[in-house]
């Protein structure tokens, strides 16, 4: 409902987050030299993370070799942290390239990492188009932030 009532955010939320110190307000978990790890404010599942280059780039072809390496490094680190703290049974990892492909923010490339558990899809999204997230996003942030700091 927050998403519906708030409406579309002006500007690039990733760029806004880049300019700020990581916090539970902007949901940034970690910054590398060229990329950052941020929680999805409107997650598909608990622990849904996104990894994005710090530079505002919408096309995968424009990434430097260093950005590609760091994106993969952040992906591996994110999977490690999620496995350790949330114990998922699997993951969906993907990039939506272009609005027609489902990118809500198509001007700033980002990788989605969605932890999955058996039974996490049930009748709620199928029948009522409602997703149940069992943990408040701020509690998930605190848990994951501590895990990234320990890694």
pTM: 0.80
DSSP codes of every residue in 81-127: HHHHHH--SEEEEE---SGGGT-SSTTS--EEEEEE-TT-S-HHHHH
Residue tagged active-site, from 48, 56, 108, 110: 110
Residue 1, number of CB atoms within 10 A of its CB:
5
Please give the CATH architecture assigned to the domain spanning 2-150.
2-Layer Sandwich (3.30)
Q: Among this protein's residues, is 110 annotated catalytic?
A: yes
Residuewise pLDDT in 10s, the chain (151 residues)? 554 555 556 788 899 999 998 899 999 999 999 999 999 988 888 999 999 999 999 999 999 999 999 999 999 999 999 999 999 999 999 988 878 777 677 789 999 999 999 877 655 554 455 556 667 888 889 889 999 998 8
Q: DSSP letter for 5, please.
A: H
Scan for tokens 């849904």, then name that residue.
Answer: 48
Residues 6+ apart with CB under 8 A from 20: 26, 28
Count CB-CB contacts under 10 A for residue 26: 20
């Amino acid at each position: 409902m927050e998403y519906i009532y708030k409406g579309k955010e002006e500007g690039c939320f990733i760029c806004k987050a880049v300019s700020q110190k990581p916090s539970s307000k902007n949901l940034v978990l970690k910054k590398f030299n060229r990329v950052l790890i941020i929680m999805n404010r409107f997650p598909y599942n608990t622990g849904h993370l996104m990894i994005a280059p710090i530079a505002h780039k919408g096309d995968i072809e424009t990434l430097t070799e260093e950005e590609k390496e760091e994106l993969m490094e952040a992906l591996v680190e994110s999977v490690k942290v999620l496995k350790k703290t949330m114990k998922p049974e699997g993951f969906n990892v993907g990039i939506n390239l272009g609005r027609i492909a489902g990118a809500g923010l198509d001007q700033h490339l980002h990788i989605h990492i969605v932890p999955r558990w058996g039974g996490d899809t049930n009748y709620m999204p199928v029948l009522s188009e409602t997703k149940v997230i069992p943990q408040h996003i701020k509690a998930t942030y605190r848990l994951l932030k501590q895990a990234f700091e320990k890694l």
